[in-house]
Amino acid sequence: MTTIKGPGIFLAQFLGDEAPFNSLESICKWAKSLGYAGVQIPTWDSRCIDLQKAAESKTYADEIKGIVNECGLEITELSTHLQGQLIAVNPAYDLLFDGFAPPSVHNNPKARTEWAVQQLKYGAVASKNMGLNAHATFSGSLLWHTWHPWPQRPAGLVDAGFKELAKRWLPILDHFDEHGVDVCYEIHPGEDLFDGVTYEMFLEKVNNHPRACLLYDPSHFVLQCLDYVQYIDHYHERIKAFHVKDAEFNSTGKQGTFGGYQNWADRAGRYRSPGDGQVDFKKIFSKLTQYDYTGWAVMEWECCIKHPEDGAREGAAFINDHIIRVTEKAFDDFARASKNDEFNRRIIGIN
């Protein structure tokens, strides 16, 4: 077994125009002051990184890594969540998702997809240049608008959707494979990969590609009433990244899983800071440690109530308190007998 690395923090929700959140160096110093050991970097934010430059220049990649290291931190993973979303967009969402891409490809879905594909490929090379072996992203979605089938889905629609999704992702997965980096899909509502069954459907279409891995975030499973602990039993071999994000589900006589079009604070299912929700992180850390998860525990703050700076401060201590330093010996080693084949045969009666 391996002791999980951490605590890490995903910087996306903390970046801003005011110090210390307006540059990579200053936000890293802030994170270090709170007790974090690693940062997950959102590659769409130029205050942190120029992704294309990090892919094309090893020197620049080393400079970014050096800034983080000089602050006493490590880079946990690079993230292309927003770009990954754009690999597959149903036309119903074109206007909304154009905001994830540069203006030059707005109102041009084909160009937007091509831009996103290139961004993911840059992500593979940049990750390699920084010595990383895991990369966080989204799958995108062609089918999400049909998840609750009314009107009834035409026969073959889901299969066609997953075939197309796999067709778009296979060259990207091969590119990541060439550079020795795992693609870690965050299984998430709004993506075509939103639970275990949909992940398996995708995995089948990409021929069980070895780089089609997982970012484990239990908060999204609380909102789906999915057994997030048993999920680890099913997919632990594919889990290569981990977001420590909490959630709670409190159904009422007026709303449940669908949320009634309410804002986050008023939904039955809502995200919370670590320790403020219903996720049993003791079980999760134990299970991941048991299965020899070798990656990072990275806090993602998406609480609808608590101030982000309070969530960040508490999150570092929360993760530290849950990381299990693995034992190097069994608790009953003091009573262990030395190996003796003859003695063992006598015990089981085969002398």
DSSP sequence for 275-299: TSSS--HHHHHHHHHHTT--SEEEE
CA–CA separation, 199 and 348 (whole Å):
46
In whole angstroms, how large is the CA radius of gyration of the chain? 22
Query: How confident is the model at residue 187, as a pLDDT?
Result: 98
As a whole-number percent, the residues of the chain with pLDDT over 90 amount to 93
Which helix (H) or strand (E) covers residue 216, if one does? strand 212-216
Give the number of other CB atoms < 10 A from CB of residue 38: 20
- pLDDT, average across residues 117-122: 98
Q: What is the pLDDT of residues 235-278, one digit of tens each?
A: 999 999 999 999 999 999 999 999 999 999 999 999 999 999 99
Query: How confident is the model at residue 115, as a pLDDT?
Result: 98
**Are the C-beta atoms of residues 87 and 116 closer than 8 Å to each other?**
yes
**Are the C-beta atoms of residues 211 and 241 closer than 8 Å to each other?**
no
Which residue, chain included where needed, has tokens 């620049």? 60
Q: What's the distance, CA 331 to chain centroid?
A: 34
Query: How confident is the model at residue 229, as a pLDDT?
Result: 98
pTM, to two decimals:
0.96
Which helix (H) or strand (E) covers residue 109, if one does? helix 109-129
337 pLDDT band, cuts 50/70/90, is confident
For the chain, the maximum distance between any two Cα atoms, rounded to a whole number of angstroms, is 81
The dihedral region occupied by 41, where left means phi > 0, alpha psi between -120 and 50, and beta the remainder, is beta
Query: How confident is the model at residue 168, as a pLDDT?
Result: 98
338 pLDDT band, cuts 50/70/90, is confident
- pLDDT, average across residues 124-147: 98
Its domain, for residue 110, covers 5-347
Q: Whole-number mean pLDDT of the chain? A: 97
Which residue, chain included where needed, has tokens 């970046």? 15
CA triple 25-26-31, angle to 5 deg: 95
Query: How confident is the model at residue 86, as a pLDDT?
Result: 98
* Residue positions counted in the chain: 351
CATH number, domain of 233, equals 3.20.20.150
Structural domain count of the chain: 1
Query: How confident is the model at residue 155, as a pLDDT?
Result: 97
Count H helices and E strands in the chain, helices first: 13, 10
- DSSP H helical ranges for 136-261: 157-178, 196-205, 219-222, 228-235
**156 has pLDDT over 80:** yes
Query: How confident is the model at residue 241, as a pLDDT?
Result: 98
Q: What is the pLDDT of residues 268-305, one digit of tens each?
A: 999 999 999 999 999 999 999 999 999 999 999 999 99
Q: What is the pLDDT of residues 177-207, one digit of tens each?
A: 999 999 999 999 999 999 999 999 999 999 9
